[in-house]
Structure 1
Amino acid sequence: PAMYVCDPFIRDWLLGRDSLDPALAGMAYWRLPPEPLAGWPLDETVNYLHRQIEREDGLPLRLIVTGFPGSGRRSFAAALAGRLQLPLLVLDSGHIAEAEWERVYMRGQRQAFLTGCIPAWSGSRWTQWRWPPLIAPFRIQMALAEIDESVPPMEGIVDFRVELPPLSIEERRRLWRDLVPETAGWRPEALEAMSRRFQVNIGQIAAVADRGGATAEEAAEIVRESSRQRLGKLAQQLPCTFRWDDLIVSDWIRQTLEDFVFEAREREIVWEQPAAQRLFSQGKGLLALFSGPSGTGKTMAAQVIAATLDLDLFRIDLSTVVSKYVGETSKNLERILSRARHMNAVLLFDEADALFGKRTDVKDAHDRYANTDTNYLLQAIESYPGVAILATNKKANIDSGFIRRLRYVLNFPKPDTGQRLLIWRRLIGELAGTAILEGLSDGLISMAGSLDLTGAQIKYAILSALFIARKGGEELGIPHVVRGLERELAKEGRSISRELREKLKY
């Protein structure tokens, strides 16, 4: 028998056949160049690659293409390879065991050298492994990574990072039409609303096409589902069942909230104008600070805003962000913001004073590093391009320079007498019915005028009263409401005055 057997791939190459190495089957495939999107940075990337190729030092290039899942990284890589007139071979590290990494890497480079293709390493696992330094890489590599993934450095290779930009409204409109045939049956205003409201990527639109989103409403729900997994345990999705009528606030606050919603809907159109891009190069996100005592409607206002915009609302869990170690808090916030950057959602940072507190006088190294951390946090949230709401009941603790740079700053005070009465009547009327409400009318007027309560305290006093009445098999009455009130007031060490009890005849 023959002592040596020629490798099948080498044999095919010697015979002039351009084939895929059998050892790469199941983990590698050819990707044809698609029609490029107008917003892709193809020209500048091609020009950079040509300049580097012409350099005398001749170092290999590794182009790191970053974006969120579904952002079109493989499509961009294929379009770029097409511009360079080279085929693209995508190698999926998700199908490679760590023990096989060096062998697969070598065969991928060999495939590139012999067939003149560009290898594009895909999947998240390649970022976790060391690139073999003794295996010569092809002249151009592509590596596809997510926004917040770190890439292991490699000696003797030049890295160039390209982050795919979000799609413009026009690009989204075109992709909806091209990829989802059902849009032909949508109302024109429905397609326009989908194109403007949801900052989707190519993968999300393709997912709608695959799942058959026949109506705009079904398509919107599929898009929301695809975004909900990005934050994982870093945030809690809040239900958004409240309506504008549920929010009892002053006319000025309501008008300002409506302005906020309008700006959230229209801002992309404004930011696409050249003059706006030139004059407002930073701070294109929409940020608001809601301050005021607990229970005054800050979270409810955020829920009403998200519901009106037909977007999900995510409350950031501060336990996953704030760290006692210097520098860790800023890293945690960056991880959240990078994942949420192109999500179709509203972010709510509760207890924002814990994150964006005042900078202190520098007395020692710890103060200096703490201030550096605070500066980074302020810059990170200010440069966030999405919609975010910061809520606090300690506005005085937030850095004043940061507050001045926010687009909206609203203070939610405790409700006045008229607002308290309206809250009492709204909640009891909806929960117990109008007939019972009318029977309690005089007592509610007395309670609204005598007790300084927040909307949340009134709400939970009524909830307790309903259960007390139900336990006794009775119709809701003033005695049940008084007991519910006592339970709420006891939390603050307060009680109902003798005068009010006499008015209520209890």
Structure 2
Amino acid sequence: MTVDQKLDPHAVAMMRRAALWESFASIDARLEALENDTQPPEFKLAAGSALEALAAMFHLSTEEIELLALCAAAELEVTVAQRVERLTGQTVLQLDLADRMLPGAWDALCPEAPLRHWRLVELKGSGPIRSKPIQMDERILQFLLGTTYLDARLEGILDHVPAESQEDQTEVQRLASAWTSGERLPVLIVAGHDSLSKRKLCASAVAEIGLRLYRLQGADVPVDWTQRAALAIFVDRELALSGAALLIEADDETVRKAATFADLVSGPTILSAPDPEMPERTPRLRIDLEPPGRKDRRALWQAALGGDQGLQSADFDRLAEQFALDASGIDTAAAQARGAQVAGMAPVWQAARIQARRTLDRLAERIETRATWEDLVLPREQLSILHDLEHHLREAWTVNQAWGWSAKSARGLGTAALFAGPSGTGKTLAAEVLAGALSLDLFRIDLSQVISKYIGETEKNLSRIFAAAENGGAILLFDEADALFGKRSEVKDSHDRYANVEVSYLLQRMEAYRGLAILTTNQKSAVDQAFLRRLRYVVTFAFPDAASRREIWVRIFPCETPTEGLDPDRLARLSLTGGSIRSIALNAAFLAAGAKEPVRMVHILRAAQREYAKLEKPFAGTVLEAFR
């Protein structure tokens, strides 16, 4: 333990100021000799002053230390300031006087020498260089006086990250040891998507070795190289003055810019990004942080919510199983839930859904689900399968975790389903009903945007979608999958081989996906039997019979819609799918609203005629009898 550590901070500051003024006395003696034209005494740097610390930080030579002391003394010591004015007739220190007192002043004030490179001093004004005032940077002057603060030029760019206690000290020690085991500090490359956990970990690690942590957002790194280099100098200088390390947080868009900035900083640096680019600066060490597992997520939910929402143990289990959020996502969701007007599971679940959907919203179309089981008209067998599918997803945690199936084997625990049937028979509606019943998001995947003619691109697109969907276990709807899921063709060339690889890859991801992935097709017969065997559920949506059509007509109009004289038995004679029936009912409602009347059979007749014309079906015979 040093003397400084034994004394209180105020006593240490007083000792350093006394040492600083002792150095100023040496400067004053040399100026006095210059004033009297006598042999100047040798400059003596008092031990323990902040000048000594600056010399070590920025590798200053003897001449540079003396010049820095002269600049500081001219700013702070009245006697020295008066001598400068008598010697030059000016109230500021000029290069001419520095050169008379110190023959190496010209070299010490070279733009690339440490004093000016690190902006410790600057030459101000215009005119001949010999008459330019030498001004000490205020941040350096305050450092000499023992005042610690963040440079005003870095306010809003650097943020201080306070250290927090970490339960898992293994990773903390791992990062801390990387900066204590060698002579040169490596650039730490921390990979992973959980930015909040990485930030807390880095703050704890640098605190372990006695450093502060400043954070710089990758988006704040200037694009212009000159501005970037200037910022790097001020940041690097601040790290030395504050005894701090730098954490650069970047995303996929700013990671390259952040890596080039890390190359410009010589102090202790950490680059954090989902998948960081490796800077050229060496040595470097990459550490990949795994996202929190289910047990960790459960602990994070409990820590974030505690008893605020009145959740039970089983509720935390469901949240941890359903939403693969990182620490920042869980903290944000918990804060949103606490701000809701009601307590309980519902606001927490909804807040978690919002956090989980952020990435997938950019990759697929989210469908707002309002349909319920009452809106779905299907034969009993199909409804039974869909209800089984709902229970399968609702009890996934019980079977996979509590009953040990995931521990036995993680393979094949995903839920993949095929909805097959003609257009308009309720395939998409059934997916909406399932999503609404389970309070999950439903995303429709546009396969035309996913499938690429370039080899390997389709798999990359699918991988991004499934990786984003894992956060919330959303229901994925691969609509109109006929083009992708045809019978496997004979391999005649590389394109045939890779087309089959794409289908196999999608099925593998569907099987591994812990949520529900639904494929829809209009032609079940076109799907290869080998593919069908790998699907957990297959639901056939048949063309509705007369009884089903009658039931659809009974349920199709919202209770708020005024109707008059509608006959579901007669309307059931219209041989149409549920989708076409909905289209007719909606168009009839608009016709009735335009006529300021309730919906009557005459409005449905006009709407039905247009629907039949659209479908290129004859509107005659039994169809017309329904309206007589």
Conserved? CA contact 1:127–1:152, under 8 Å: no
1:94 match: 219
1:204 match: 329
Paired residue for 2:617, among 472, 486, 494? 494
Per-residue deviation at 1:59?
9.7
**Partners of 1:31 and 1:495 in 2: CA distance:** 73
Conserved? CA contact 2:232–2:265, under 8 Å: no
Work out whether 1:28 is the aligned partner of 2:196: no
Aligned in 2, Cα 1:373/1:12: closer, same or farther, shift over 3 Å?
farther
**Partners of 1:62 and 1:284 in 2: CA distance:** 37
Per-residue deviation at 1:134?
6.8
Per-residue deviation at 1:300?
1.0
Deviation by residue 1:194-229 (Cα, 9 ceiling, x = unmatched)? 566544443234335555234344444444444444
Q: How does 1:460-499 map to 2 (within 5 A)?
A: 460-471=583-594, 476-499=599-622
Conserved? CA contact 1:248–1:419, under 8 Å: yes
2:521 is aligned with what amino acid?
T
Conserved? CA contact 2:322–2:472, under 8 Å: no
Aligned in 2, Cα 1:376/1:177: closer, same or farther, shift over 3 Å?
closer
What secondary structure sits across from 2:583 in the alignment? helix
Per-residue deviation at 1:413?
1.8
Paired residue for 2:415, among 260, 264, 286? 286
1:267 match: 396
Paired residue for 1:388, among 512, 517, 535? 517
Larger radius of gyration: 2
**Partners of 2:393 and 2:512 in 1: CA distance:** 16
**Partners of 2:188 and 2:403 in 1: CA distance:** 33
Structure 1 vs Structure 2 CA RMSD: 4.2
TM-score, with normalisation over the residues of structure 2? 0.65
1:165 is aligned with what amino acid?
P
**Partners of 1:29 and 1:424 in 2: CA distance:** 62
Deviation by residue 1:305-339 (Cα, 9 ceiling, x = unmatched)? 11112223222234432333333333333333333
Q: How does 1:44-443 map to 2 (within 5 A)?
A: 60=186, 62-67=188-193, 72-79=197-204, 81=206, 88-99=213-224, 100-105=227-232, 119-124=246-251, 126-129=254-257, 131=260, 142-146=270-274, 151=277, 154=280, 160-168=286-294, 171-180=296-305, 183-184=307-308, 186=310, 188=312, 192=316, 197-208=322-333, 210-211=335-336, 212-215=339-342, 216=344, 217-272=346-401, 275-343=404-472, 345-355=474-484, 359-398=488-527, 400-428=529-557, 430=559, 436-437=565-566, 440-443=567-570
Aligned in 2, Cα 1:89/1:398: closer, same or farther, shift over 3 Å?
farther
What secondary structure sits across from 1:34 in the alignment? coil
**Partners of 2:507 and 2:276 in 1: CA distance:** 23
Q: Which runs of 5+ in 1 are unaligned?
A: none
Per-residue deviation at 1:432?
5.3
Aligned in 2, Cα 1:154/1:393: closer, same or farther, shift over 3 Å?
farther
**Partners of 1:242 and 1:81 in 2: CA distance:** 53
**Partners of 2:147 and 2:596 in 1: CA distance:** 87
**Partners of 2:172 and 2:506 in 1: CA distance:** 31
Per-residue deviation at 1:190?
9.4
**Partners of 2:192 and 2:499 in 1: CA distance:** 30
What secondary structure sits across from 1:348 in the alignment? strand
Per-residue deviation at 1:490?
2.4
Aligned in 2, Cα 1:198/1:296: closer, same or farther, shift over 3 Å?
same
**Partners of 1:276 and 1:82 in 2: CA distance:** 42
Aligned in 2, Cα 1:210/1:476: closer, same or farther, shift over 3 Å?
closer
What secondary structure sits across from 1:443 in the alignment? helix
1:184 is aligned with what amino acid?
D
Conserved? CA contact 2:262–2:269, under 8 Å: no
Aligned in 2, Cα 1:482/1:338: closer, same or farther, shift over 3 Å?
same
Aligned in 2, Cα 1:280/1:491: closer, same or farther, shift over 3 Å?
farther
TM-score, with normalisation over the residues of structure 1? 0.78
**Partners of 1:404 and 1:113 in 2: CA distance:** 64
Per-residue deviation at 1:239?
1.9
Q: Which runs of 5+ in 2 are unaligned?
A: 1-92, 99-104, 110-114, 121-136
**Partners of 2:314 and 2:562 in 1: CA distance:** 37
Conserved? CA contact 2:334–2:351, under 8 Å: no
Conserved? CA contact 1:358–1:399, under 8 Å: yes
Conserved? CA contact 2:194–2:291, under 8 Å: no
1:460 is aligned with what amino acid?
S
Could you say which structure has the greater relative contact order, defined with CA pairs below 8 angstroms and 6 or more residues apart?
Answer: 1
Per-residue deviation at 1:441?
4.4
Aligned in 2, Cα 1:225/1:429: closer, same or farther, shift over 3 Å?
closer
Conserved? CA contact 1:208–1:223, under 8 Å: yes
2:585 is aligned with what amino acid?
I
